[in-house]
Structure 1
Amino acid sequence: MHPRITHLDGMRGLAILMVIAYHAYARWPELLPYAATTQHIPLFAFGWVGVQLFFMISGFVIFMTLDKSRSYGHFLKKRWLRLFPAMLVATLLLYFTAGFFPEWSEHTPESKNLIPGLIFVNPETLTQLTGIEFRSMAGSFWSLYVEALFYLIIGAVYFTAGRKYCLPALIVPMLLLSASSVLKSLGHPLLIDVISKFGFIHYAWFMVGCLVYERLHGRDKGYHYALVILALLINFSYYVKNNGVMTIVPLVVVMLFFIASFYSKQMERWLSVRFFTAIGFVSYALYLIHENLLIAMMVKLNVHIKNEAVMIALPVVVATALYYVAWLITQYAEPALRNALGQVVDRPARA
């Protein structure tokens, strides 16, 4: 086990706090009037980069997981058993609580919308392939679709071509995405539309995490840096095009923060404090449930509470309650489901 793993747990805690702050105070001003006051505060406005932090952590730990896996199948099974139990619990929780929150139309799911989360495929792709209109159970699920495909790709490369081809392989879909406008003009619009929904643009962040891990283990090569810089340039150009040049600032800050945490004992100690690691422990389950339940609850409370100062304080209370829900999922439901599913998955192998 890498000696610095504790601080990564703390970093997961920090990442989910950033995302919650963004959703509670900046993302939904049209639903939550108080957000008009808070949405431009940088701490809240740029909280969405918590997802990029999650991606970098995933990139960092992926080689550890691959190195401990016997085969591609074994690796995929471990990843599925890591992701699926909490996703199943969270999806069902969101589905069955929806009726309590009629105030928020985003949170009135149909049973077919259980499918994208449970198979980790984004709803746009499912809609394009089937012609049936799918939507995610929660907006925050989008990053799990990106993660799942990343695991499929990097695992395939690692177990066929080998470790040294992992980083080069991750730049390929990003380059494909960059060339999409050219490919579109050649007459494959549907294919390009499907590709564009896979989230390849975010692979730059996985690559940063991978490179930091390889560097710490003395396996970094010069061309790795060139690939990661190219990936970041592609990623930054996407954000500049869609959100303006200032968007690069929080992205660069969060990347430097991630890298520095491996070289600064002070940062490592700070991220390892109990507050962050405790939240990091439940971060996955909390990430899955927080947006729907937090926003729906705030919309409900907003009907009755007209005091803006009280409303601004309330997300902290609601998020704290959700922390305990996520803790119950992580501590009890997830391990029980994982053990049960693990036995089912293993059974054919023993037969």
Structure 2
Amino acid sequence: MRTRRTGGEPQRLAVLDAIRVLAALSVLFYHYVALPGAWGEPTAALFPVAHRFAVYGWLGVEVFFLVSGFVICMSVWGRTVGDFAVSRAARLFPAYWAAVALTSLVLFTWPEVRSTTKVTDVVVNLSMLQGGLGVPHVDDAYWTLFVELKFYVLFALVVMRGVTYRTCVLFCAVWTLAGVVAPAVDDGLLSFFAMPSASPYFIAGIAFHLMRRFRPNAVLWAVVGVQFLLAQHYVRERMVSSLGQAAAEQTPVWPAHLIILLGFAVMAALALGALDRIRWRWLPHAGAVTYPLYLIHMMVGLTAIHHFRDRVAPVPLVLATTACVLVLAWTVHRLVERPLGRRLGAGLRRGIQDIRQGTPTRPTLAQLPAQPPAPDAERIPAGPAGHRRNQAVRGPSS
């Protein structure tokens, strides 16, 4: 089984950036137009037409999970666990720290939609682990980041074992089984990592990448088919959690099923190479802004909407707020995410290298000589340098 990509870094797919942009804007559209909290009244009356579409914008999160499964599987071939951890930390944390700081500042200054009263909650949020500690999110949109972290932890097991076609398929099978069994046995730890409502999208994304990297076959199509059915099973539950019980009962469910079908169809077309002609130059730049946009748009934007709702008409206010958060997202990307990401990645790589060598870059106190050397004596070496152990990840199996 031959891969379509040989050597070097994976080729960037512009269509993935297009999917990210659509997913991010759909989530923004949902928060600004479908949710009534910032407006103080039902949004169906304010946006009689747009509201019918905005109530399904939460599905952008599911699309993000699909893309994440594809991208993570694409990026780990030939990498060690340390490389994987460094790349994820450098990618996620710089923009996230800036978003937490900015959102906290807004909520402390204008506690109109929601107030952040505990500085300790903000500090814990900087770790991105608040979802497992029972600490409130500074921004409700951050719940997806903890889901992503759990996916990374699970997929790190594949990287440790060696990333091959076989191990990826086995991982998909085991995770699918866990997602099916967890609700039945009601096991807390199993459900915590199985993530039954989210895992179908990650697993399908992995299978789609395997199709693209190697070739489609009956096994991979079966994996995708099972994940599609499982994803459809949880649609009603996700509608209730996103819209509330009353609103979910009044909202037709069939468009959500259709949107999920469309998302799987687009990813299938990507896996088969049908969308490779989409190479618009602006897409990578737009795609790079989607992560900071997702991080800052919700509470910052809803606070702005609440603050100006009595002075600006609804439609212009949504458009102006969207434009402002886009500018903020671009600023965070250029001034924080890119430079700090490079620095953080370089620092973490040096730390990983020290661990592999078995000795830190600088000598520890125990390694220093007990007595200072004589003025004409040669410098005593701090200690033998550890030999770097090569831990090569197995390449694609055929």
Please give the TM-score of this superposition, normalised by the length of structure 2. 0.74
The answer on 1:139 being equivalent to 2:147 is no
Q: Partners of 1:83 and 1:92 in 2: how far apart?
A: 15
What do residues 86-137 of structure 1 show as CA deviations (whole Å, max 9, x unaligned)? 11111111112212322112x42522333554333352x312xxxxxx1111
Distance (whole Å) between structure 1 residues aligned to residue 349 and residue 183 of structure 2: 45
Structure-2 separation of matches of 1:268 and 1:11: 15
What SS does the aligned partner of 2:198 have? helix
Find the counterpart in structure 2 of residue 130 from structure 1: none
The residue that corresponds to 2:29 in the other structure is: 21
Do residues 340 (structure 1) and 343 (structure 2) align? yes
The residue number in structure 2 matching 1:63 is 73
Give a deviation string over 1:285-312, Cα, whole Å, max 9, x none. 110000011111101111444xxxx212
144-153 vs 256-265, which moves further:
256-265
Say yes or no: does 1:126 pair with 2:122.
no
Q: Which amino acid aligns with 1:146?
A: V
* Percentage of identical aligned residues: 23
Match of 1:35 among 32, 43, 65: 43
1:204–1:235 contact (8 Å) kept in structure 2:
yes
> Any conservation in 1 of the 2:122–2:138 contact (CA below 8 Å)?
yes
Partner of 1:160: 161
* C-alpha deviation, 1:212, in angstroms: 2.0
Q: Distance in 1 between matches of 2:307 and 2:286?
A: 25
Report Cα offsets for 1:53-77 as digits up to 9, x if no partner.
Answer: 22222122212310152x1111111
What's the CA shift string for 1:272-331, capped at 9, x where partnerless?
A: 363x544322110110000011111101111444xxxx2122111111111111111111
Whether 1:226 and 2:222 are equivalent positions in the alignment is: yes
Higher relative helix content:
1
The corresponding residue for 1:255 is 264
1:145–1:223 Cα change, 3 Å: same
Greater Cα offset, 286-295 or 4-13: 4-13
CA distance 1:17–1:290, change in 2 (3 Å) = same
| Residue in 2 that maps onto 1:272 | 280
Partner of 1:79: 88
Equivalenced residues, count? 329
The residue type equivalent to 2:116 in the other structure is T
Contact 1:19 1:47 in 2 (8 A): yes
Partner residue in 2 for 1:183: 185
In structure 2, relative to structure 1, the CA distance for the partners of 1:76 and 1:109 (3 Å cut) is farther
The worse-fitting range, judged by mean Cα deviation, of 111-120 and 8-17 is: 111-120
SS at match of 1:108: coil
CA contact 2:182–2:194 (8 Å) conserved in 1: no
The structure having more radius of gyration, on CA atoms, is 2
Q: Closer, same or farther in 2 for the Cα pair 1:341/1:241, shift >3 Å?
A: closer
TM-score where L is the length of structure 1: 0.83
Deviates more, 1:198-207 or 1:296-305: 198-207
User: 1:147 offset after TM fit, Å?
Assistant: 1.3
Q: Which of residues 98, 108, 120 is equivalent to 1:99?
A: 108
Q: Classify the secondary structure of the residue corresponding to 1:201.
A: coil
Contact 1:20 1:290 in 2 (8 A): yes
Q: Which amino acid aligns with 1:142?
A: W
Question: Structure 1: any 5+ residue segments left out of the alignment?
Answer: 128-133
AA partner of residue 183 (structure 1): V
Distance change (3 Å), C-alpha of 1:29 and 1:167: farther
Q: CA deviation at 1:254?
A: 2.3
Against the structure 1 CA distance between its residues 77 and 267, is the aligned structure 2 distance closer, same or farther, given a 3 Å change threshold? closer
Asked whether the 8 Å contact 1:154–1:170 carries over to 2, the reply is: no
Out of 7, 18, 40, the residue aligned to residue 10 of structure 1 is 18
1:326 counterpart (318, 329, 339): 329
How far is the alpha carbon of 1:208 from its aligned partner? 2.1
Offset, 1:43: 2.8
CA RMSD of aligned residues (A): 2.8
1:172 pairs with 165, 171, 174, which one? 174
Q: Give the unaligned 5+ runs of structure 2.
A: 1-8, 240-251, 355-360, 362-398
Q: Is the 8 A contact 1:177 1:196 kept in 2?
A: no
Q: 2-side partners of 1:18 and 1:80: how far apart? A: 26
